[in-house]
Structure 1
Amino acid sequence: MDKTMRFDLVSLSLFVAVAEEQNLTHAARRKHTAVSAVSKRIAELEQQVGTPLMLRMPRGITLTPAGHSLLYHARQVFRNLEKMEEELSDYAAGIRGHIRIYTISAALMNNLPRVVSDYLAHYPQTDIEIEEHTGISVVQGLLSGEADVGFFSSWTSAAGIVSWPWQHDLLSVLVWPTHPLAGRSELKFEDIIDEKLIGAHRNSAVSHILERQARACGKTLSVGLRVSSFISMAELVAQQLGIAIVPVNEVASSTLHSGVRLIPLAEPWAQRELLVGVKDYAQASPSVKSLIGSLIPCEPAEE
């Protein structure tokens, strides 16, 4: 015997309105429906689920535990319907896909533009939006659903995110040509820990890891200037206002000031992976899955 409950979308919509308004009359006015019709629909829902969903109070209604559960799932249903409608309208408009990307600057400065260009060459009717964020904001954007795909580093905590290695990155030291360290092929953290630094903003992953390593050495970093742009950091180094520690992928060699040297930081903790991630690969759109597949060697199998 089939005991599957089949819910009517109109009834669910009226139920959500009543739950949000906490008042039958206000919900009926919002949905342009008679109060008696709303009450009848709610009674039919309660009969269908076999338990009260609302308690009628003198000044309105309050949800029962079953009502709270139904409200949560009903909202999920309508969010999925909106997402379906948006995606199908994109197909109708000839876009055939919409991808929202949040990324750290390391990806945006180098290979991500080429990746997007190559992808659009194959899927020209896909609409792609790209926003630059800190690693933490990228992960938060994925978790909240504001972003479909995120690019962040392995230094960023990403609980709840499915991610795959994309590129390797390494911290390096920027010095001007006549700096005493300019002739070195690589540097250790102890070589630069007492130098005057030009730092990234305090919430950046680079700032956090450098401060953590300095504390481990019993030192405090001497940061004279902080700027959000790694290219600006390179220009300030060229003016001999301090040295800077930057991820290799943050600064393209073609953008460096003439004569500024980029020297690898030879520390295990200075190495990181650039990752590409999504919140739920199984629920991702076909456009997102095709983009992921173009980035990593093997597209992950769906569970």
Structure 2
Amino acid sequence: MLQKSLIRRLDLITLQLFVAVHEEGTLTRAASREAIAVSAASKRLMELEEALGISLFVRQAKGMTLTPAGETLLHHARQMLFNVEKMGLELGEHSHGVRGYVRMLANLSAIIQFLPEDLRDFSARHPQVKTDLEERPSAGVIQGVLDGVADLGICSIDSDIKGLHSVLYRPDKLVVLMPPHHPLANRSSVAFADTLDSDYVGLHAASSINMRTHAAAREAGKVLRVRIHVPGFDAMCRMVQANMGIGVLPQRAYELFGRALGLTAVPLSDDWSDRALIVVVRNEALLSPVSRMLFEHLRGTA
């Protein structure tokens, strides 16, 4: 019964008014912001609460504050309004000749190392397809695809993909980044356990490399001595250059950033350092035509 009532009576104008009341603190200021009469705004809020069967605001002399139920609705209302705005933007692209729109999530390793050239080649073949790319850690990529935020994602192969369909994208070899004067710099390869007497420059806590190196340190019976966390591979290279420690990053990222700074990369001999990146989707058969084209293109690069 509630679902049918919501379908009939829940509208975007009322949701926008609801968000405005929360942000402005009073019905009068919210009505002014949304260019609606105060009486009409009050009627809309009352009808919304009746449709939901709950109170959304605590009315006080100094203004209106959300109830716990109101906090829940606020989260969903903002997401709905965002999605409508994004839908309008995407549909608007069609009036300018764009045939399709692909939403994509990828981890830092994929974005830095491989996607610039792969997306350039895809765009050259399909110039009327627009790609919306967002960077997230591997776990965030998986959750985003599960939630429908993106059509496809790229993450580390050692991630829990939670039932998503996956195909191989690219191999991704990890190396230890260090100054050329470091005691391990002349080795042809090095075991990760042998590096743990050095200070480390670590990536952000949610990155798969950060989690894997901490796990490997625990397996070796030691603690990873992280001196500083950085947001990306370029920042890691600069910190290593400044003698803040050593770091673990992909071979290709070293070639892009570290080599030009005069740094050295020594391959890790541990099995876990030979990893791969994968493309994940909810259901390959349900991909839109343009998403399927990009999926096939990325799968072909393997």
Q: TM-score, normalised by structure 1?
A: 0.69
Name the % identity: 30
1:233 aligns with 2:253: no
Which of 1 and 2 has greater Rg? 1
Q: Aligned residue for 1:158?
A: 161
1:102 aligns with 2:105: yes
Q: Aligned residue for 1:147?
A: 150
1:270 aligns with 2:273: yes
**Deviation for aligned residue 1:182:** 1.0
**Deviation for aligned residue 1:126:** 0.7
Q: Aligned residue for 2:5?
A: 19
Question: How far, CA to CA, are the matches of 1:254 and 1:152 in structure 2?
Answer: 21
- Contact 1:143–1:160 (CA under 8 A) maintained in structure 2: no
TM-superposition CA deviations, 1:38-93 (whole Å, max 9, x none): xxxxxxxxxxxxxxxxxxxxx9899xxxxxxxxxxxxxxxxxxx999998875554
Question: How far, CA to CA, are the matches of 1:227 and 1:211 in structure 2?
Answer: 15
Q: Aligned residue for 2:130?
A: 127
- Contact 2:193–2:217 (CA under 8 A) maintained in structure 1: no
Question: How far, CA to CA, are the matches of 1:227 and 1:27 in structure 2?
Answer: 44
Q: Aligned residue for 2:264?
A: 261
1:167 aligns with 2:176: no
**CA pair 86-281 structure 1, distance change in 2 beyond 3 A:** farther
Q: Aligned residue for 2:222?
A: 219
- Contact 1:99–1:148 (CA under 8 A) maintained in structure 2: yes
Structure 2 residue runs of 5 or longer lacking an equivalent are 14-49, 54-83
Question: How far, CA to CA, are the matches of 2:188 and 2:262 in structure 1?
Answer: 15
TM-superposition CA deviations, 1:150-179 (whole Å, max 9, x none): 111112211131111011011110110111
1:282 aligns with 2:268: no
Question: How far, CA to CA, are the matches of 2:51 and 2:132 in structure 1?
Answer: 44
Question: How far, CA to CA, are the matches of 2:205 and 2:267 in structure 1?
Answer: 22
**Deviation for aligned residue 1:256:** 3.6
Q: Aligned residue for 1:40?
A: none
Question: How far, CA to CA, are the matches of 2:52 and 2:97 in structure 1?
Answer: 45
Q: Aligned residue for 1:197?
A: 200
More helix by share: 2
Structure 1 residue runs of 5 or longer lacking an equivalent are 1-14, 31-58, 63-81
- List structure 1 runs of 4+ shifted beyond 4 angstroms: 59-62, 82-93
**Deviation for aligned residue 1:20:** 2.2
**CA pair 117-60 structure 1, distance change in 2 beyond 3 A:** closer
Q: CA RMSD in A?
A: 3.1
